[in-house]
């Protein structure tokens, strides 16, 4: 049921090189549009990259279907595919579209393969820096031929992470620092590549989190929904907390559990 992950990587890299990077920093006004609110953008790069990823990945795995962010924006019922029997490619063609649209280089491509509510493959690609993190369930998380392991600082005060403004007030003075990347892809890559140690999200869409949660676990990290239950790609609310290990997760949860800030 699982395709060759190297073939998936090759498709993602090719689509990024042909549909995304030629448009980075060159978008015209009519190639950038607003979706649900003033800070929610879609560009021609999102649309064309998602179309290519959908076609090529479903061809790579016959019988599979796709759930892409832009397709769901036009038809919410597409999310129901996550509850069907077919393997599902979950796609965020340009994660961090606001950054991309404004010429900022904090964006990336997210691809996950979900089967029966379970993520079995994940890939994060930063086309600006040419960095890919990928992995399969049970096979570890890898980048550039090296296996990844999350960093484990000894104390809460040494942890750096990502969370929202109201949550920030709950952890201020208790953790080492907060990063602001405005891209789930970049957040997860930071966790996996040792640039940060924790993330907390309340707004959960599968294209933002399915791949990253799997890869974080494969790199030895600990995550759970804020009520302690395991994450599933069909979750769209509540909240998820990712940390280096269960001990630091428990300490962070005590700080952020009452926060109402969505990120």
Residue 230: the pLDDT is 95
CB of 165 closer than 8 Å to CB of 146:
no
Residue in 74, 105, 114, 108 with CA at minimum distance from that of residue 92: 108
User: C-alpha distances in angstroms, 247 versus 221, 231, 244?
Assistant: 11, 18, 8
Q: Name the 3-class secondary structure at 253.
A: helix
> CA 44, CA 93: separation in Å to the nearest integer?
11
Identify the helix (H) or strand (E) that includes residue 14.
Answer: helix 5-15
For residues 218 and 209, give the distance between their C-alpha atoms in angstroms, rounded to a whole number: 14
- Residues 34 and 86: their CA atoms lie apart, in Å, by 32
Beta-carbon contacts of residue 6 (< 8 Å; ≥ 6 apart): none
Other CB atoms within 10 Å distance of the CB of residue 228: 10
Question: For position 258, what pLDDT does the model report?
Answer: 67
Query: For every one of its 263 residues, what pLDDT tens digit does the chain have, with 9 covering 90 and above?
Result: 789 999 999 999 999 999 999 999 999 999 988 887 757 789 999 999 999 999 999 999 999 999 999 999 999 999 999 999 999 999 999 999 999 999 999 999 999 999 999 999 999 999 999 999 999 999 999 999 999 999 999 899 999 999 877 677 788 888 999 999 999 999 999 999 999 999 999 889 999 999 999 999 999 999 999 999 999 998 777 799 999 999 999 999 999 886 654 44
């Amino acid at each position: 049921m699982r395709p060759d992950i190297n073939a998936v990587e090759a498709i993602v890299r090719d689509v990024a090189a042909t549909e995304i990077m030629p448009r980075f920093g060159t978008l015209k006004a009519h190639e950038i549009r607003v979706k649900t609110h003033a800070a929610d953008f879609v560009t021609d790069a999102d649309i064309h990259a998602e179309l290519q990823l959908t076609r090529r990945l479903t061809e790579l795995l016959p019988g599979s279907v796709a759930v892409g962010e832009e397709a769901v924006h036009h038809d919410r019922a597409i999310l129901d595919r996550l509850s069907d029997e077919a393997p599902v490619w979950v796609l965020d063609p340009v994660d961090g579209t606001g950054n991309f649209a404004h010429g900022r280089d904090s964006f990336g491509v997210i691809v996950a393969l979900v089967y029966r509510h379970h993520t079995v493959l994940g890939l994060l690609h930063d086309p600006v820096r040419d960095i890919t993190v990928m992995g399969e369930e049970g096979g570890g998380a890898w980048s550039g031929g090296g296996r990844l392991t999350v960093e484990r600082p000894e104390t809460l005060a040494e942890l750096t992470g990502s969370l929202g403004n109201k949550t920030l007030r709950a952890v201020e003075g208790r953790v080492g620092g907060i990063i602001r990347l405005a891209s789930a892809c970049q957040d997860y890559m930071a966790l996996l590549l040792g640039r940060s140690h924790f993330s907390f999200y309340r707004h959960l869409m599968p294209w933002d989190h399915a791949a990253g949660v799997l890869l974080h676990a494969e790199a030895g990290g600990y995550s759970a929904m804020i009520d302690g239950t395991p994450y599933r790609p069909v979750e769209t609310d509540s909240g998820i907390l990712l940390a280096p290990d269960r001990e630091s997760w428990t300490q962070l949860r005590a700080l952020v559990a009452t926060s109402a800030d969505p990120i």
